[in-house]
Amino acid sequence: MLIFVTGGVRSGKSSYAQKRAKELCADPVYVATAKIWDEDFHERVKRHQEDRGSEWTNFEAYRDLHLLPLKDRVVVIDCVTLWLTNFFLDHDNDIDLALADFKKEINQLIEIPGTFIVISNELGMGLHADTPVGRQFADLQGWANQYVAAKANEAVFMVSGLPLSLK
CATH code, 97: 3.40.50.300
21-31 pLDDT per residue, tens: 999 999 999 99
Looking at residue 86, its pLDDT comes to 92
Annotated binding residue 33 = yes
| 96 annotated ligand binder | no
pTM of the model: 0.91
Which residues, other chains included, contact 87 with Cβ-Cβ below 8 Å and sequence gap of 6+? Answer: 63, 97, 98, 99, 101, 102
- pLDDT band, residue 125 (cuts 50/70/90): confident
What is the number of structural domains in the chain? 1
> What's the domain range around 30?
2-165
pLDDT at 130: 78
**Active-site pick, 48, 66, 91, 128:** 48
Nearest to 88 by CA among 31, 141, 37: 141
Whether the ω angle into residue 25 lies within 30 degrees of 0, i.e. cis, is no
- Known catalytic residue at 91: no
pLDDT reading at 9 higher than 80: yes
For 127-163, write each residue's pLDDT tens digit. 777 788 988 999 999 999 999 999 999 999 999 999 9
126 labelled ligand-binding: no
